[in-house]
Structures are given as structure tokens and as C-alpha cells.
Structure 1
Amino acid sequence: MSDRDTFHLPEFLRRFQIMIYTGDPLGDWLMIEDEIRDLLTSKVIDKEEFSLAMKEIDKRKRMYADETQ
């Protein structure tokens, strides 16, 4: 990432070739979270990048929940 203040989730997912689409947006985000946890466990990413990715996913899950209510 060039700018540590800005996290671009699509670029992050592309970097690790993470593409999940099941037709269930919430389920997709949960599966992506699992993949990101695996990256941390494997020490492919550091805790800071993990935290940024998870915060962005949480934000997107909340946006989806708000849209469906």
C-alpha cells in the first residue's frame, strides 16, 4: 500500500487473488474474513494490514445490513 491511511480492499483482495462470490453477500464477507485470517496465520500479512482489512470488511457488512433492512 502506498498510503497507510487509505486501505483499498479491492486491491488487497486482488493482490492475494481472493475472489469469492456465492450469491450471498454476507456469506461472501464471512468467507473473505476466513481467507484473511489464514493470511495472518501464515504470516503473509502483518497485524496492521489484517486489522485494516477486517475493519473495511466490517464496514461493508454493516452497509449491507443497513441496505437489507
Structure 2
Amino acid sequence: MNSVYDVMQLLKRFGIYVYTKDRLADLEMMEDEIRELYKMQMIESKDFQIAILLLKQEQSRSKI
């Protein structure tokens, strides 16, 4: 996983599509969904950590 697009593809594998026309809201919602998938043990720890890191980085870029 190298980008937010890859995170979106991971979510899509579970039937989760996020698009609200608000980039920051999308990133926050994706983060919530990733956390839920991890809690339900649907994704591995490594994928969870990378996805959260990518989303946080993109959130900080989008706020500037």
C-alpha cells in the first residue's frame, strides 16, 4: 500500500465505498472504516498501520 488510492481499493474489497465530495470528510470516514475492519479482525495489523499512516498524512496535507 503506497497511497490513499490503495486504501480505497482495500476498502472496496469489503464493499465499502466512500465519497462525500468533501476530501477531509472522506479521509476521516475511511479512517473510521479501517479502524472498524481492524477491530473485527478483517485486516492485518500491518495493513491497518500503513492505511492509518497514509490517511493521516493525506489529512495533514489537505488541511494546509
> Which range, TM-score by smaller chain?
0.7 to 0.9
Q: Tell me, what secondary structure is at the counterpart of 1:18?
A: coil
Gaps of 5+ in 1: 1-6
Q: Deviations over 1:29-52 (max 9, x none)?
A: 111111101110110011111000
Q: How many residues align?
A: 60
- Fraction of identical pairs, as percent: 32
What TM-score does the superposition give when structure 2 sets the normalisation length? Answer: 0.77
More helix by share: 2
Q: Work out the CA distance in 1 between the residues paired with 2:11 and 2:31.
A: 11
Gaps of 5+ in 2: none
What TM-score does the superposition give when structure 1 sets the normalisation length? Answer: 0.72
Higher-Rg member (1/2): 1
